[in-house]
Amino acid sequence: MGIEIAQVKTIEELLPARGPYIYPAGINDSYKSFSKYGPKSSDQPNLMIINPIYDLDGNAIMPGYYELLLSEDRQILILTQSQKIIATFPVFKLEEDKNQMQATQPMDKKSLRKSQKEQTKKEKQNKKLIREGKMAEEPEIYTNATLEYDVEGEYYLVKYERGRIRAWGVLKN
C-alpha cells in the first residue's frame, strides 16, 4: 500500500505569473486621449430619476441620470441616456422669457458701444486661447429639469428650463 501522487506542482507554478505583460505599470497607448481636452460637456439639463416609472404596457424607466432635450419644433421633450432615446413627452405649455430678450438688446448708443467693446474683447480672448491650444470660453446657460408626481391626476409633470425657454410635459402612467 503506497501513496500515489497524481500531479506534482512546483513553487513557480503556485506563485502568480510574473513578467511585463501580466500587470503593466505606466501609461499604455490605449490610455492616452486623442485630444488635449475631454469631450465637450452638454448644456442640456440633467434629470435624476430615483424610483422606476412604469407605463400600462409594463415598460419601465429605471432609476438613473438622464438628459432632457427639447425638440427643434418645441413640441416634444426627449429623455435620453448615453445619447439613446428612452422616452418622449408631449409639451403642453411653452414659455419664452421676453424680459431677458429685451435685456440683451441695448436701447441707447452708449450701452450699445459698451456691449460691442465687451464682445470684441471676449472674441480677442477666445482667439488667443485657441492659438494657445485651449478651449474658448462659452457663456454659462442656466439649465434645470424636474420631475414631479401628481397624485390626483396620476401623472408625472416634467419641467424643462434652459436659458430663457421653459417647457412642461406630461407622462401619464
Tens digit of each residue's pLDDT (9 = 90 or more) over 71-128: 889 899 999 988 889 988 899 999 988 775 555 555 688 888 888 888 898 888 888 8
Angle (CA) 157-158-164 rounded to 5° is: 130
pTM: 0.61
- Measure the CA–CA gap between 68 and 146, rounded to whole angstroms: 10
Give the position of cell 486623442: 34
Strand, coil or helix: 158: strand
The domain spans of the chain are: 40-172
- Decide: 63 and 50 in contact? Cβ < 8 Å: yes
